[in-house]
Structure 1
Amino acid sequence: MSVDPRRVIVDVANVSKHFGEGDARVDALKDIDLAVHAGEVVALLGPSGSGKTTLLNVIGCIIDPSAGKVTLDDELVYDNRWLRSDLRKLRLDKIGFIFQFHNLLPFLDAKDNVALVLKLAGKSATEAQRRALELLDYLEVGHRKDSMPALLSGGEAQRVAIARALANSPRIILADEPTAALDSKRAGIVMDLLRKLAAEQDACIIAVTHDEKIYDRFDKLFHLRDGRLDGGDMA
């Protein structure tokens, strides 16, 4: 699949988010503008409480902005209100999530952890299994398809989690501290893999991270402080 680097996959315009009212009001995001293109892997950096995870959750359609517009994969999905009634389907269609800890279901093997997402999206059991095996092979953990999460190494479990995030071929992959639980070597492998995925799957990847050892794996570094976004610096 060829990637058009001019195509904007995530477009956040003048987005703000506050919690509470009056003296208890906290402005978590203030007039955020962010555009991420096809094939890009970008980082959101900043101290704890700066708004990184809040911004990731807004892009992931998990929390409501207080104002602004959000366009995902050429679809305007939020314009001072949600324009889609079924946000669960929106997430299934467009977004893959990767977390610091793999969050694999402990009672399902690697293959079924991935296939479950496809079944939830309405795929047949046969198609779900075929796609799960294809992804595990692509991520070089196909030989561990029948292993339970407790028997996987940290790097293997994270690859299975990435396979799960890719199950529905999302254009947007959101990663919250994806390498924090990994050593330097495994962190580098995971980031190289995410770069490969962005290039080959016509996707963009937005990662919240404090992991300085992987900064050079990003195309751009965005800095959040007190709810305001700066940067877009080349890594």
Structure 2
Amino acid sequence: MAESAHRSPLVRLDRISKHFGEGETRVDALRQVSLEVFPRQVVGLLGPSGSGKTTLLNVIGCILDPSSGSMELEGELVLRDGQWQRRNLRRLRLDKIGFIFQFHNLLPFLDATDNVALVPKLAGADMASARKRARELLDYLEIGNRKDAMPAKLSGGEAQRVAIARALANSPRIILADEPTAALDSKRAGIVMDLLRKLAIEHDAAIIAVTHDEKIFNRFDHMFELRDGMLESEALGSAE
């Protein structure tokens, strides 16, 4: 992936592999995957079920231990030869990464504001500051009028916006999305992708999304295809 020489990637993977089991039962979920994603890019990972897309996303998110390979996030070497370079991966995730899922996973007993405020609170902010940050993000995503609504009272699109606000709560520059629009209709899926594009540009962030959703393929700058754990080729050129 060509990029201006003066810009460094926010995500750099070097020969990431992941296998499960040993001997005859061994399954190679990822095989020597190398990838760079730069600021302001919205990148899609495409591939059939079982190809390794979610496994790759979980390695980038420092949730799953790879078998080998190295990784840099925001210029920091966080993985070297399959070994984590930080002891506290939970803190790393809070500091660097925002997560968006197919289903919003909002806590049903907290309103929209407190669902978002939970993340900065876990990072050490006091409740007043956390709630202030949450309200600012809900306003930014044009859903401030629903700040007091419980998840059961939100539409699918509204709930996904709250989930995006939660992902942004600690100002990460790396946002990982697993099928973020699969549960939405075409109109709402387009709105969500437009929001992700806005975030990438205005926050100088990198967005990496696993998707099967053909209605949003044209919203990505680049799409890469995984097959049998291997990153084979770029599926689409620039969307710009």
Q: TM range, normalised to the smaller chain?
A: over 0.9
Partner residue of 2:215? 213
Q: Which of 192, 196, 199 matches 1:197?
A: 199
Q: Structure 1: which 5+ runs fail to align?
A: none
User: Contact between 1:92 and 1:121, CA under 8 Å: does it hold in 2?
Assistant: yes
Give, in whole Å, the separation in 1 of the partners of 2:205 and 2:213.
Answer: 22
Partner residue of 2:66? 65
Give, in whole Å, the separation in 1 of the partners of 2:232 and 2:167.
Answer: 28
Give, in whole Å, the separation in 1 of the partners of 2:201 and 2:128.
Answer: 28
Partner residue of 2:52? 51
Partner residue of 2:43? 42
Partner residue of 1:20? 21
User: Contact between 1:5 and 1:37, CA under 8 Å: does it hold in 2?
Assistant: no
Partner residue of 1:163? 165
Question: How many pairs align?
Answer: 232
Tell me by how many angstroms 1:7 deviates: 2.3
SS in 1 for 2:132: helix
Q: Structure 2: which 5+ runs fail to align?
A: none
Q: Percent identity?
A: 72
Give, in whole Å, the separation in 1 of the partners of 2:90 and 2:122.
Answer: 10
**TM norm structure 2:** 0.95
Partner residue of 1:227? 229
Partner residue of 1:92? 94
Question: 1:192-231: CA deviations, max 9, x gaps?
Answer: 1100000000110000000001000000010000000022
Give, in whole Å, the separation in 2 of the partners of 1:153 and 1:93.
Answer: 29
1:116 aligns with 2:113: no
SS in 2 for 1:8: coil
Residue type of the partner of 1:140? E
Give, in whole Å, the separation in 1 of the partners of 2:202 and 2:8.
Answer: 15
User: Contact between 1:110 and 1:145, CA under 8 Å: does it hold in 2?
Assistant: yes
The 1:127/1:113 distance shift into structure 2, 3 A limit, reads same
Question: 1:162-214: CA deviations, max 9, x gaps?
Answer: 00000000010000000000000000000011000000001100000000010
Residue type of the partner of 1:44? L
Residue type of the partner of 1:53? T
Give, in whole Å, the separation in 1 of the partners of 2:233 and 2:197.
Answer: 20
SS in 1 for 2:103: coil
Partner residue of 1:77? 78
